[in-house]
Structure 1
Amino acid sequence: MSGSLNKVMLIGNLGRDPELKMTPSGQALARFSVATTETWKNPQGEKQTKTEWHNIVVWGKQAEIAEKYLRKGKQVLIEGRIQYREYTDQAGVKKTACDIRCDNFVMLGRMEDGGGRPSGGGADDYEPTGAPAPASAGGQVYDDDIPF
């Protein structure tokens, strides 16, 4: 294989509400964190868990949608790529941060719990960031529509 690939897919829960900022050029930027948790049993049969925190960066119209609809604790699927950035902290020490540059996100969970298509607002208010909703039931997603 002669190419390279930088692809990340995460399913986790938001650690905080997205913070929306505008760049000097007027581009929207949202930042938030997502937690993913791994669970396993150790050799003694005891349940173990480890949570990893991921810094997510979303740009443009998707940043505005994220700020409007994503909330702390809600489950989300993030699709994007890893990006590293260098910065200098307040003490003058150079540091490197790892971000996930989000190309696409999908709100998961039941609509009553704040997942799925956002509630409130009209259809013109919402632009899907993932696969289109099933055509059955006028765009509504019901458990019977999910193939698993």
Structure 2
Amino acid sequence: MSGNANIIVIEGRLTKDPNFMKTKNGKSLCKFGIANNRYYYINGSLQKEVYFFDLISWGYNAEKVASNLKKGSHVLVSGELRQNSYFTKEGNKRNSIYILALEIKNLSKKSLDNNGKIANNQTVENIIEENTDQVF
């Protein structure tokens, strides 16, 4: 029997430039965050709430995120919710929730060129293809 469904799809803008690194084992890892806006009306007045989410991508996906996205990039992400448990220096247990980004689409009208500068009149429909043979 398979596990329960764990799928998330979210749209937003990067809150800062992606943080790319290599693990001790040489695997590519990229951490980034997005802001997601929710609009609604109360008594005819438009209200806005902003939610912030932490995301992580691995391997090929991490490299593509780091090379193609920057602060303010508009993205559509599909992935899974993950939980990380750790202990503080004081010995207290903490939990954090993040999104494991499996597929990222750049919705920005402009993309980055090879020098990391915004290239005009280019649209990147799908900068990352889901890498199904990568083990997480």
- With normalisation by structure 2, the TM-score equals 0.79
Separation of aligned partners in 2, 1:66 and 1:128: 8
Q: Structure 1, unaligned stretches of length 5 or more?
A: 132-148
Separation of aligned partners in 2, 1:14 and 1:90: 30
Separation of aligned partners in 2, 1:128 and 1:41: 35
Separation of aligned partners in 1, 2:27 and 2:3: 31
Separation of aligned partners in 2, 1:3 and 1:20: 31
Amino acid at match of 2:64: I
Q: Structure 1 residue 91: deviation in Å?
A: 3.6
Larger % of strand: which? 2
- Per-residue CA distance 1:108-136 (angstroms, 9 max, x = gap): 1212xx3xxx4337xxxx994149xxxxx
Separation of aligned partners in 2, 1:23 and 1:79: 23
- 1:53 equivalent to 2:52? Answer yes
Amino acid at match of 2:65: A
1:146 maps to: none
- 1:34 equivalent to 2:34? Answer yes
Q: Structure 1 residue 104: deviation in Å?
A: 0.9
* Identity value in percent: 24
Separation of aligned partners in 2, 1:128 and 1:75: 12
Quote the RMSD (CA, aligned, Å): 2.2
Q: Structure 2, unaligned stretches of length 5 or more?
A: 116-123, 131-136
Q: Structure 1 residue 77: deviation in Å?
A: 0.8
2:119 maps to: none
Separation of aligned partners in 1, 2:80 and 2:22: 22
Separation of aligned partners in 1, 2:55 and 2:29: 10
Indicate conservation of the 8 Å contact 2:106/2:127, yes or no: no
Equivalent pairs, count: 120
1:95 maps to: 94
Q: Structure 1 residue 3: deviation in Å?
A: 6.0
Larger % of helix: which? 1
Secondary structure, aligned partner of 1:61: helix
- With normalisation by structure 1, the TM-score equals 0.73
Distance change >3 Å, CA 41–CA 3, structure 1 → 2: same
Amino acid at match of 1:8: I
